[in-house]
A and B are shown apart, each in its own frame.
Chain A
C-alpha cells in the first residue's frame, strides 16, 4: 500500500527540483499535481482541500521564491503536513488498570472485523495477554462459526451464548471473569452507519461491555465513503482507534489518511495478509516517510532483528565485505530474509530503490524454485558455480524440477550479483544505496 502514492510524489518532487525559481504560479501548479495524486489515492475531497490550502499558505508565508533551495522548502512543507495528517506518533491500545480490558470492534459489512478480531487476539496472546473472543455478530450466517474456527486455530477461547448481542456481551464479561482473561475482544455485526436500528444496538452493546477501546475496522480499499463511516461511528459509540485491513493489495490508502484527519483518532493496527499472523501495529510517521519515498528503515531493522541471528549476520557481512559470496551463503541469507515477510514489502521499505524495481511483481513461488535449484547442487558446485557444465546443469534441473534455462538464468543473475557485491566491497555503491559502514 501507499507505493503508488509514493511514486506520484517522487515524480512531482523531481519536476520541482528541476525548476530554477518558484513563484506563485509554480506553487499553484505543484499544488494541483499534489491534489490529483491525493484524490487518485482516495483521500477524501474535503481533506485534500484543506491539505492543499495549508501547503500553499505555508509555501507563501515561507517565501520560498526567495529561498536558495525552493524545491527543498516545498518538499519539507509537504512532508511535515503529511506527517501531521497521518498522526505523528504510534498509538497504543489503552489497557485497563483493572482487567479485563474490553476491546470492541465495529465497522461496515465485509471490512474484516472477524478476521481482525482473531488476528488481534493472536497478537495480544503472543504479547502475554489471556484473551477471550466474544462473538456478538448474530446477523451474518455462520459468523460465530467463523470466529470459533479461528479461535480454535490460535488456541483462544470463544464465547457466544445468548440470543441478542447485548446478552452475548454481558455473558462474555462474566465468562472472562470466570476464566481469568485479561483482554476481552468483542466482535460485532457489520452494519451501515445509517442503519439507525443497528447503530442503536451497537450503542447498547457498548453500554453493557464498557469497552476501554472501541476500534473501527476500515478496509484500506475504501473510497470517499470512509470519512462518513468514521464520523458516524465516532458519533454513535465514540471511537478510540482504527484497524486498517487488507493493506496488502495495491490500494493507495487514502482512506487511512482521511480517517485520521477527520476523527482525529490514530490507526492502531493494520492487517497485512491472508494469514492470521499478518497483523502489525501501525506507525504513522514511518508511513509518511514511505509515502515520500524515504523508505521505512525502522521497520526493516525491527524485522531484521527478529529474523536474523546476530552471529550469522556478522559472519555474512564479513564475507560480503571481502567480496566473496557463494551460492551457499546466498541460500542461507535468502532463507533468513524470507523469514522477514514477503519480499515485495521488504523492497518497499528500502530507501532509494528505483520505482521500476519496487513495482515489479514478486512471485514468492519463484523463491521456492530458486531454493530448489540451489539445493540440487553439490557443495562444490555451490562454492564454485564455474564447474557446472552441461550434464551437471541437466542433473540440477531434473533434481529441482525446473528446466536448464531456469538454472542458466539463476547462474547468470548470480554472476551479476557477485560483480555488484565486489564493486560494493570496494566502496562503489550503486546509486541511492548507503555505503557499507566501515
Chain B
C-alpha cells in the first residue's frame, strides 16, 4: 500500500475525529448560550405614526432633481435582448408551449425553480378560469400575478424621522456594491436637505475606507474612519458620538462584505448592530445589498443576514446590465423583505425607488 494512501486514511480519520469532538463541544456551548442569553433588547421600532416622516409616501419626489425612473433606465439595455415575451405571444394561442416559454423566461431571470413552479400553478388555474386564449392576455395575467405577489402592503420607503439621528446600516456579501449604494443614498439625502455622515466600518478590505472617503468628498458628507484592521465596532461608536455632537440627521454605516456562511463574521455583524442600538441614535434600516446578477444563492444570503441582523429591506444593485434580479421575487415571497431601492447605473444619481410593476415588466422585456 502506498504511503500516500496511508497518510490519506489517517488524515480522514483524524479530520472526522476532530469534527466529532468539535460538534460535541459546540453543541454544549450552544445549549449554554441559549440558557444564558439575555432577552435581546428590541430594536426601537419606528414610531408607527411618526408625524413628519417625509419619505412615507411611496412616489415621494423628494430630491430636487427628478430621480430617473426604473423604466427609463432599463429600456435602453433591455431592447438589446430578444424578448422572450415575443416568442410567447407570437404563437397566437395559449398552449403548453406558451407555459414552457413563460417558465423559461422566469428561470432565465433567476426567479428560481420553486417560485417559478408556484407562480405557474397559480397562473394555469387563473388562465383556465378566465379562458385566456390570447397570448397577450395571458402575459398580462402573468405580470399581474407576479406584481400581486410582490406588492402586498410592503412599505418601500426608507425610514427617517426628523429631529433625530437616524441610522441606516448596509450589509451584504463581498462585491455587491455596498459602498457605492451608500454614496448614492448619501447624495440623495443631501439633496433632500438632510445632514449625512458616513461611517467606514469596513476595516477589513484594503482601501475600503479610502473609497468611502472619496465618495464622501464628492457628495459632501463627513466620513468617520478608523485604522485598517481596527475594530469596526469602535468606528461605529465614534461615528455615533460624532453624529450626536453635530446633530446629524442620518448616519450611513458601511460594513465589510462577508459571506453569509462565515459564522464569526456574522457574529461580528450582530455585535455592530448591538452597538448601534446602544447609542442614542435610532437604527431605522438594516439594508441588505444584493447584486442583480446573483442567482439562487441570493435567497440563502437574505435568509442568513435576516436571521443575524433583522434586515428591513433590500437594495438591488447593478440592474442596469442584462441581469434581471429575479431572485428578489423569491426573497420577497419567502422572507417578506421588501426591495426598497434599485441601483441602475454608475453615477451618484442612479439609485431609484423600487416599482413592482416596472420591475415585472422588465423581467419579461
Chain B residue nearest to A338 in the complex (CB): B18
Chain A CB count within 10 A is highest, among B26, B110, B210, B294, for B26
Give which listed residue, B207, B293, B346, contacts A223 with CB less than 8 A.
B293
Q: Given contacts A408-B28, A413-B24, A417-B17, list 4 more A-B pairs with CB under 8 A.
A: A246-B175, A304-B8, A314-B6, A363-B26
**How far, in whole Å, are A80 and B27 apart by their CA atoms in the complex?**
40
22 contacts between A and B (CB under 8 A): A40-B114, A42-B296, A45-B108, A108-B293, A142-B207, A146-B205, A149-B228, A219-B175, A221-B301, A224-B109, A249-B260, A249-B261, A297-B8, A300-B12, A310-B3, A313-B10, A337-B15, A347-B19, A350-B12, A369-B29, A413-B20, A433-B12
Q: Are A194 and B322 also in contact (CB < 8 A) when A367-B22, A437-B5 are? A: yes
CA distance A436 to B323 in the complex (A): 51
Residue on B with the closest CB to A42? B295
Cα A42 to Cα B21 with chains together (Å): 35
Given A222-B294, A438-B1, A142:B24 Cβ within 8 A: no
| Chain B residue nearest in CB terms to A297 | B8
Is B18's CB under 8 angstroms from A334's CB? yes
Residues from chain A with a CB closer than 8 A to the CB of B80 are 194
For B301, the chain A residues whose CB sits under 8 A away are 221
Does residue A255 face the partner (Cβ distance < 8 Å to B)? Answer: yes
Instruction: Select the residue from B104, B110, B175 with max chain A CB neighbours within 10 A.
Output: B175
- Stretch from A109-117, A206-214, A261-269, A378-386 at the B interface: A109-117
* CB contact under 8 A between A347 and B15, given known A410-B24, A412-B24: yes
Does chain A have a CB within 8 A of B7? yes
List the A side residues contacting B292 at CB < 8 Å.
Answer: 225
* Chain B residue contacts of A228, Cβ below 8 A: 322
**Contact among B1, B32, B108, B259 with A249 in the assembled complex (CB-CB below 8 Å):** B259
Contact between A225 and B321 (Cβ–Cβ < 8 Å)?
Answer: yes
Number of A-B contacts (CB under 8 A): 256
Of A139, A140, A343, the contact of B22 (CB 8 Å cutoff): A343
Interface size class of chain B, counting residues whose CB lies under 8 Å from the partner chain: 35 or more
Contact among A40, A362, A406 with B28 in the assembled complex (CB-CB below 8 Å): A406
List B residues 274-302 near A (Cβ within 8 Å): 291-298, 300-301
Given A194-B322, A250-B297: A357 and B19 interface contact (C-beta under 8 Å): yes
Contacts of A254 in B (CB 8 A): 295
Q: List A396-416 residues whose CB lies under 8 Å from chain B.
A: 403, 405-406, 408-410, 412-414, 416
Provide the bound-state CA to CA distance between A410 and B297, in Å. 35
Known contacts A225-B110, A362-B22, A409 near B27 by CB under 8 Å: yes
B320 at interface by CB-CB < 8 Å: yes
CB distance from B174 to the nearest CB of A (A): 6
A65 within 8 A of B: no
Residues on the A chain within 8 Å of B44, using CB: none
Cα distance A146–B320 when bound, in Å?
26
Instruction: Select which of B6, B16, B294, B295 is within 8 A of A437 by beta carbon.
Output: B6
A316 touches B29 (CB 8 A): no
- Residues in B neighbouring A360, C-beta threshold 8 A: 19, 23
Q: How far is the CB of A358 from chain B (nearest CB, A)?
A: 10
Q: Determine if A141 and B210 form an interchain contact, defined as CB atoms under 8 angstroms apart.
A: yes
Least CB distance from A305 to B in Å reads 7
Interfacial chain A residues near B6, Cβ < 8 Å: 313-314, 317, 437
Point out which of B292, B323, B326 has the most chain A C-beta atoms below 10 A from its C-beta: B323
Those 6 A-B pairs whose CB atoms lie nearest each other, nearest first: A223-B295, A110-B175, A437-B1, A42-B295, A146-B207, A149-B206
The CA-CA distance from A420 to B17 in the complex, in Å, is: 9
Contacts of A337 in B (CB 8 A): 11, 14-15, 18
Cα–Cα, bound, A36→B113 (Å) = 7
Given contacts A110-B176, A110-B291, A417-B20, contact A42 B25 (CB under 8 A): no
Closest to A232 in B: B322
Also in contact, A317 and B10, with CB within 8 A (given A142-B207, A192-B320, A224-B107): yes
Which B residues lie within 8 Å of A143 (CB)? 207, 211
Q: What chain B residues lie within 8 Å of A413 (beta carbons)?
A: 20-21, 23-25
Min Cβ gap B70→A in Å is: 17
- A129–B21 alpha-carbon span in the complex (Å): 42
The verdict on A128 contacting chain B, using a C-beta distance below 8 Å, is no
How far is the CB of A396 from the nearest CB of chain B, in Å? 13
Q: Are B7 and A304 in contact (CB under 8 A)?
A: yes
Interchain nearest-CB distance for A105 vs B (Å): 14
CA A410 – CA B28 in complex, angstroms?
9
| Minimum distance in angstroms from A187 CB to a CB of chain B | 13
Is there a chain A Cβ closer than 8 Å to B173's Cβ? yes
A246/B206 contact (C-beta < 8 A), A108-B321, A225-B322, A337-B15 known: no
A248 CA to B259 CA, complexed, in Å? 8
Contact yes or no, B295 A255, CB < 8 A: yes
Q: How many angstroms between the C-alpha atoms of A250 and B228 in the bound complex?
A: 28
Known contacts A146-B207, A248-B261, A334-B14, A366 near B22 by CB under 8 Å? yes
A145 on the B face (CB < 8 A): yes
B264 within 8 A of A: yes
Q: Closest CB-CB distance, A308 to chain B, in whole Å?
A: 6
Most chain B CB within a 10 A radius of its CB, from A219, A224, A301, A353: A224
Q: Mark A279-319, 1 if CB is under 8 A from B, else 0.
A: 00000000000000000010011001100101001101100
Q: Which A residues are CB-close (under 8 A) to B346?
A: 139
Are A140 and B15 in contact, with the CB atoms below 8 A? no
CB within 8 Å of B: which A219-256 residues? 219, 221-226, 228-229, 246, 248-252, 254-255
A333 at the interface (CB under 8 A from B): yes
Q: Mark A144-157, 1 if CB is under 8 A from B, else 0.
A: 01111110010000
Shortest Cβ gap from A226 to chain B (Å): 8
Q: Which residues of B contact A249 (CB under 8 A)?
A: 173, 259-261, 297
With both beta carbons as reference points, the residue of chain B lying nearest to A420 in the complex is identified as B17
Q: Which residues of B307-342 have CB atoms within 8 Å of chain A's CB atoms?
A: 318, 320-323, 326-327
Task: Name B239-268 residues within 8 Å CB distance of A.
Answer: 259-264
Residues 86-124 of chain B, each 1 if its beta carbon lies under 8 Å from chain A, else 0: 000000000000000000100111101110000000000
